[in-house]
A and B are shown apart, each in its own frame.
Chain A
Amino acid sequence: MNNLQGLADYAIRAWFSVPDPARWPYTWLVYLGFILLAGLIAVGFAAGFAGPMSFIERRIAGRMMSRIGPNRVGPQGIFQFIADGIKSLLKEDIVPAEADRPLFLLAPYLVFTGMFGTFVALPFAAHVIAADLDVGILWLLAIPSLVVVGLLMAGWGSNSKWAVFGGVRSAAQLVSYEIPSAFALLSVVLFAGTLSTQGIIAAQGPWPWEWFIFRNPLLFVTFFIFFISALAEGNRAPFDLPEAESELVSGYNVEYSGMRFVFFFFAEWANLWVMSALATTAFLGGWQVPGMPAVEIAAMTGWRFVGWEALSFLIFALKTSVLVFVVVQLRWTLPRLRVDQLMTTCWKYLVPLSLITLTGNLVLLALVPERGVVDWMMRGLMVLIAAALALRYLQRVRANYLADRENYRKMEGKELWYPPYRLP
C-alpha cells in the first residue's frame, strides 16, 4: 500500500471482492476515481496552505516593518484571506480589448497547473504521496517549467509592455536558475542513489547528522545553492523581477483582474510550500521520525498506523514551515536585484559553484566510504558548524534588539519587548 495504485487495488479487493484487480474490467474506473480524489485532496491542501499563508506572510511582514498587519476580519484577522478571495471572486473578469484572448484566458491555469503538478511527487508523510515516481526528481524539475510557458503567455497575451517585460524576465530567470537547482539536486541524487523522492528521504535519517545537508561541507553549500535557485524559480523576493512593482507595475499579471488574478497568487503562495518541501525532502531528512523507521510504520495497522503517519507529517510540516518562514523573512530583508545582477548571480556565481560542489561531491562519494571514520567526522563537524552559526545568529538578533531597547524606553516610556506570540 505504498502508493495510490496500491491503495486502489486494496479498495477493489475489499469493496468489490475482486481477487485480481488487473483482470477486472472496471478497474480503470476505480483508478480514475482515486486519481480525482487524490487530486482533490492535493488541491485542498494547496488551497488550505496558500490562503492562510497569504495572511501569515502579511502579519510577519507587518511585524518586521513595525506594523501590525491585517487584524480586523475575524479574530486577529484570520479570515482576511477569505474576504480577499470573495472580493476577487465578485470582481469583473476583464479581458483587454487588444489582448490575445485565448492565450490571455489560458495562462493562469497553466501557471497553476505547473505549480500544482509538483504535488504529484511531493511526499507528505511516511506513506502519503500521490505517486512515488521512479523519476520523481526529474518530474519535479521538469513540471515547473510549465509555469514559464504560462507566464510568457500571460505577458504576451495581455498586449501590454509591462506584462511582456514581466513574462520575458520570468522566462529568462526560470530557465537560468533551473541549471544550478538541477545540479544541486543531482548531488543529492548521487548520494541517495535514486531519483524517487521517498527513496531520497529513506537514504537519510531522522537525526540532523544523518541529513544530507550536514553530510559533508560541499552538500552544505549545495543546500544554499538549491535554496537560492528555488527562490528565483518561485519568483520570490529578492528575485521577484517579473512582478517588480516599482518598474513594471505588477509585471505579467498587470492586466488581470478577478479570479484569474487570484490564480497567479494562489500559485505563488502554494509554491512556497512546494519549494520548501522539496528542500526538506532533499536535504533535511523529510518526514523521518526519530526512533521509528518507516518500515516499522508500514507494518502497523489501524489507528497506530494513522498516528505515526500523522506524526511524520507533523515533523515534515515543521521543517517545511521553518523554511517557509525564512523565505518570507528574506522577502522583507533583501531589496530586489537588478536584472544584470540577477543574471550575474546565476551564471557567474551559482552555476560555477554548483559545478564545483557537484564535482567535489563525486570525489567525496568515491573516496569516503559511508559511515566510515572520515564520514562521521565530516558529519559531526558540519553539525557543529551549523550549531555555531545558529548561536551566532541568535546572538546577533539579541544584540540588534538590545541596541535599541534603552532608547525606546526613554522615548516612549514603554518596554520594547513584544514577542511574536503576543498578538496586538
Chain B
Amino acid sequence: MVSAVPTPVKGDRSSTQGAPLRAWLQDITRASTSIFEGLAVTMSWMFRRPATIQYPDRIDKPVQEMLPDGYRGILEVDLLRCSGCMLCQRACPIDCLDIVVVKDPQTKGRFIERFDIDIGKCMYCGICSEACNFDALQHTTEFEGSATSLDDLLLHFATRPVPVSKHKAGQGPARRPQGSILREVIKPLYTRDKRTGVDHLAPAEAPPAPAKGDEE
C-alpha cells in the first residue's frame, strides 16, 4: 500500500523505512500478537455476566420498581384529591386532558363528570403534574402502553361522577401508591392482568380520613 502522502503515525513503520524485510516481519509479528491478545479479550467475556435484563418476564423485580422516582411514565389522577380546578388542563400544551366539572343545581355540589387523559397524545412533559396543587395528578413509573386499539389509549378516570375534593393543599385523603389507580383504569395489553378489581373512586375504608367538607 503506497499512499500519496506519507502520514507519520505513532506505531507506524516509518522507523523501519528502508528495511522492507524487517518491516514485513514486524507486520507479521504485530498481526499475530494483536490477534492473540484480541482472542484473549473476547474469551474472557465468555466468563462474565451478561448485561442483558430479560424484560418482561425473566427479571427479579418489575422494571416499574427499578425506575427512579422522578420517572415520567403514564399520568394518573387521584380523583379523591382532585379539586376540579382545571389548572392541569390549562397547563397542558397539547390538550391531552379533557375535564368536565358539572354543578348539581339542587345541592350546589360540584362533580367531576369526566376526567380523560389521552396517553396517545401525551408527550410526558410533566407540566400538568407541576401545575397540580393537590398532588392529584402525577406521573407513574408505568410505561407499558401498547394497546390493540387507539381508543384504548384514552383513559377514563371518572367512571362515574365524583364530587370534587374541598380539602386544602397538603391535606385530604392520603395519596394512593402511584400506579395503583392507573392499573385499574388502563386497558392496554400488558398491564391488564395486574388489576386488583378495587374501585379506585371509593374512599378507602380502613382509615376513613374524611376531610371536613366531604359530601356523599
Q: A residues bordering B, Cβ < 8 Å?
A: 60, 62-68, 326, 329-330, 332-334, 340-341, 344, 348-349, 353, 393, 396-401, 404, 408, 412, 414-420, 424
The chain A residue with its CB closest to the CB of B52 is: A68
User: With A396-B40, A397-B40 given, is the CB distance from A420 to B49 under 8 Å?
Assistant: no
* Interface pair B49/A417, CB less than 8 Å apart: yes
User: Chain A contacts of B50 at CB under 8 A?
Assistant: 62-63, 66-68, 418, 424
Across-interface contacts of B52 in A (CB, < 8 A): 66-68, 424
A-B pairs, 5 with minimum CB distance = A396-B40, A400-B44, A418-B49, A401-B44, A333-B38
> How many whole Å from A352's CB to the nearest CB in chain B?
8
Chain B residues with Cβ under 8 A from A332's Cβ? 42
Cα distance, A400 to B44, chains bound together (Å):
6
Chain B min CB distance to A389 (Å): 8
Q: Which of B83-114 contact A (CB under 8 A)?
A: none
B48 within 8 A of A: yes
| A349-B27, A400-B44 as given contacts; A67 in contact with B51, CB under 8 Å | yes
Collect the chain B residues with CB atoms within 8 Å of residue A393's CB: 36, 39-40, 43
Q: Cα distance A344–B40 when bound, in Å?
A: 26
Size class of B's contact patch? 20 to 34
Contact A66 B51 (CB under 8 A): yes
Report chain A residues within 8 Å CB of B37: 396
Which residues on A sit within 8 Å (CB–CB) of B123? none
Task: Determine chain B's interface SS by DSSP, over half rule.
Answer: helix
CA A41 – CA B48 in complex, angstroms?
Answer: 39
Sample (18) of A-B pairs whose CB atoms are under 8 Å apart: A66-B50, A66-B52, A67-B51, A67-B52, A68-B50, A68-B54, A329-B39, A330-B35, A330-B39, A334-B35, A334-B38, A353-B28, A393-B36, A400-B43, A408-B49, A418-B47, A420-B47, A424-B52
**Cα distance A353–B21 in the bound complex, in angstroms:** 12
- Considering only residues 1-32 of chain B, those with a C-beta below 8 Å from chain A are 1, 24, 27-28
Residues of B within 8 A of A67 (CB): 50-52
**In the complex, which of the residues B1, B24, B35, B47 contacts A401, with contact meaning CB atoms closer than 8 Å?**
B47
Known: A67-B51, A67-B52. A333 touches B46 (CB 8 A): no
B66 interface contact, C-beta 8 A: no
A63 touches B36 (CB 8 A): no
Which A residues are CB-close (under 8 A) to B28?
Answer: 349, 353
The minimal Cβ–Cβ distance linking B37 to chain A, given in whole angstroms, is 7
CB distance A63 to B46 under 8 Å?
yes
A68 to chain B, nearest CB (A): 5
Residues of B whose CB lies within 8 Å of any CB of A are 1, 24, 27-28, 35-52, 54
Say whether B49 contacts A404, CB under 8 Å: no
B51 touches A333 (CB 8 A): no
Residues of chain B within 8 A (CB-CB) of A404 are 48
Give Cα A400 to B50, complex, Å. 16
Closest approach, in angstroms, between the C-beta of A390 and any C-beta of chain B? Answer: 11
In the complex, besides A66-B48, A399-B40, 19 extra interface pairs with C-beta distance below 8 angstroms are A64-B45, A64-B46, A65-B45, A66-B51, A326-B39, A329-B43, A330-B39, A332-B42, A348-B24, A397-B44, A397-B47, A400-B40, A400-B44, A401-B44, A408-B49, A416-B47, A416-B49, A424-B50, A424-B54
Q: Contact partner of B42 among A333, A412, A418, CB < 8 A?
A: A333
A205 CB, nearest partner CB in chain B, Å:
28
A353's nearest neighbour on chain B, judged by CB, is: B28
Within 8 Å CB of A60, what residues of B? 46
Residues in B whose Cβ lies below 8 Å from that of A412:
49
Q: How far is the CA of A1 from the CA of B24 in the complex (A)?
A: 51
Across-interface contacts of B46 in A (CB, < 8 A): 60, 63-64, 419-420
Who on chain B is nearest to A66 by CB?
B51
CA distance A63 to B51 in the complex (A): 9
Q: Which residues of A contact B36 (CB under 8 A)?
A: 393, 396
CA distance A398 to B43 in the complex (A): 9
Instruction: Give the complex CA separation of A76 and B49 in angstroms.
Output: 16
With a cutoff of 8 Å between Cβ atoms, the chain B residues found around residue A341 in the complex are 1
A416–B27 Cα gap in the complex (Å)? 36
Q: Which residues of B contact A424 (CB under 8 A)?
A: 50, 52, 54
Q: Whole-angstrom distance from the CB of B189 to the nearest CB of chain A? A: 18
Contacts of B51 in A (CB 8 A): 66-67
Residue of chain B at shortest CB distance from A326 = B39
Verify B43–A415 contact, CB threshold 8 A: no
Instruction: List the A residue with the shortest CB-CB distance to B27.
Output: A349
Q: How far is the CA of A62 from the CA of B54 in the complex (A)?
A: 13
Q: In the complex, A416 Cα to B46 Cα: how many Å?
A: 11
Q: With A66-B48, A66-B51, A349-B28 in contact, do A344 and B43 touch (Cβ < 8 Å)?
A: no
Instruction: Give every chain B residue within 8 A of A330 (Cβ-Cβ).
Output: 35, 39
Most buried by B among A68, A326, A401, A408: A401
Minimum distance in angstroms from B25 CB to a CB of chain A? 10
| Chain B residues, CB < 8 A from A344 | 1
Q: Which of A67, A333, A341 has the most chain B CB atoms inside 10 A of its CB? A: A333
Q: In whole angstroms, how far apart are the Cα atoms of A400 and B42 in the complex?
A: 9
**How far is A354 from B38 in the complex, measured between Cα atoms in Å?**
24
Bound complex: CA A341 to CA B27 (Å):
12
**A329: chain B residues within 8 A (beta carbon):** 39, 42-43
A385 to B: closest C-beta gap in Å? 13
